[in-house]
Amino acid sequence: MTLWQAFVLGLVQGLTEFLPVSSSGHLVLAERLLGLESVGLSFEVWVHLGTLVAVGAALYRELLDMAAVFLPSADPARRRAGKRWWVAVLVGTIPAVVVGLAAKDAVETAFASVRVVGVNLIVTAAILFASRFFRGGDAAVTPRRALLIGAAQALAILPGISRSGATLTAGWMLGLSGPQAARFSFLLAFPAILGAGVLEAQNLAAMDRPAVLAVSFLTACVSGYAAIRMVWRVMAAGRLHWFAPYCAAVGTLVLFLA
């Protein structure tokens, strides 16, 4: 893999991890366009870790609240807020874990099919278009809502289904405000990405292309942060459905070429 290819894959991962257009689907497509049959799971986990840094930079206040739970001397209000986030994130992660373990082989097969990516991008377009008929509200992220949003996240295990698109739309449908839905959607990314990093830790340590790794990581981090800020503005304006035509067009093009 060249430095240019590493830059492109890092850019694609960073932008599409948070924009509601499916990072997994775009990574598969980018690999094909760059002539890379498969970059390997370890590399994909590596660029995902770059986007994890972007989440930390964007949501540092919420993460500090969560850290305050373990500090007896911390402000009580901050500790209560942190406990609510911990419960919501843990409950919201359960569906993805269950589905991931139960459908592991089917998911791996799906990643090998460009046609599946095309179909699922069209499904993502339908999900995003549906968001147009909801306007959210000021509801809190309760355990029940977290579980339902987590169920939407579980759909995104398949390539082409946008994790952020599914969770943002679900949060909106359940009465969360745009910024609150975005905040919880991004926090939900933490356990999944961090868990994959732990599982791949040994293989990550064995990767010996420092320049390629540095370029892809930094590109994913910077572009991921930019994407988070963009989604924040889109959700505040209630315009998530703007991404539906893009997903539909790309999905249709993929099916045509496949």
Q: Tens digit of pLDDT for each residue in 68-121?
A: 998 888 888 889 999 999 999 999 999 988 887 776 666 666 566 778 888 889
pLDDT of res. 226: 93
Give pLDDT tens digits for 14-58: 888 888 887 767 777 777 777 766 556 667 777 878 888 998 899
Q: Is the pLDDT of residue 204 over 70?
A: no
Cα–Cα distances in angstroms (integers) from residue 219 to residues 49, 52, 100, 210, in the given order: 11, 12, 28, 14
pLDDT of res. 83: 93
pLDDT of res. 236: 87
Q: What is the C-alpha to C-alpha distance for residues 214 and 62, in angstroms, rounded to an integer?
A: 27
Q: What is the C-alpha to C-alpha distance for residues 229 and 107, in angstroms, rounded to an integer?
A: 30
Q: What is the C-alpha to C-alpha distance for residues 237 and 231, in angstroms, rounded to an integer?
A: 10
pLDDT of res. 176: 93
Cα–Cα distances in angstroms (integers) from residue 133 to residues 169, 238, 240, in the given order: 10, 10, 11
User: How many C-alpha atoms does 134 have within 13 Å on its Cβ side?
Assistant: 23
Q: Are 135 and 98 in contact (CB under 8 A)?
A: no
pLDDT of res. 111: 60
pLDDT of res. 107: 61
- DSSP per-residue codes, 57-115: HHTHHHHHHHHHTT-TTS-HHHHHHHHHHHHHHHHHHHHHHHHHHHTHHHHHHHHT-HH
Name residues whose C-beta falls within 8 Å of residue 192's C-beta, 6 or more positions apart in sequence: 93, 96, 153
Q: Are 45 and 196 in contact (CB under 8 A)?
A: yes
> Which one is predicted more confidently, 134 or 82?
82
Biggest distance spanned by C-alpha atoms of the chain: 60
pLDDT of res. 206: 62
pLDDT of res. 150: 93
